[in-house]
Amino acid sequence: GLRHAIDEQDAKAVNHFAYSLKGPCSTLGLNSLAKLAASVTSDAEAGHWTRCQDGFANLENRYRKVMDHMSLSAPSQQLSLFK
């Protein structure tokens, strides 16, 4: 996935995986996640791999926070859709 593409410094794969996250995040109104995904792509395309790794770590951390928040506010039946 995205982490592997970053580890391999494969800008084309990073672009593919990051944009596959960006679209759904934008659709769901998770704009900060969408912006982070776009930033990861930009850093990869520019060859800024340390910034790309940092951006991915930030994206992953924020994603976990969103999922934690959703699990606290969503009924258990709906939560199973995200597992």
Tens digit of each residue's pLDDT (9 = 90 or more) over 3-56: 999 999 999 999 999 999 888 888 888 999 999 999 999 999 999 999 999 999
CA distance 78 to 73: 10
DSSP percent split of the chain into helix, strand, coil, nearest 5: 85, 0, 15
**Residue 83: pLDDT band by 50, 70, 90 thresholds?**
very low
Q: Is residue 46 a contact partner of residue 58, using CB atoms and an 8 Å limit?
A: no
Instruction: Give the model's pLDDT for residue 67.
Output: 84
CA distance 14 to 17: 5
**Residue 82: pLDDT band by 50, 70, 90 thresholds?**
very low
Task: Count Cα neighbours of 80 within 13 Å in the Cβ-side half-sphere.
Answer: 2
Tens digit of each residue's pLDDT (9 = 90 or more) over 55-81: 999 999 998 888 888 777 655 545 444
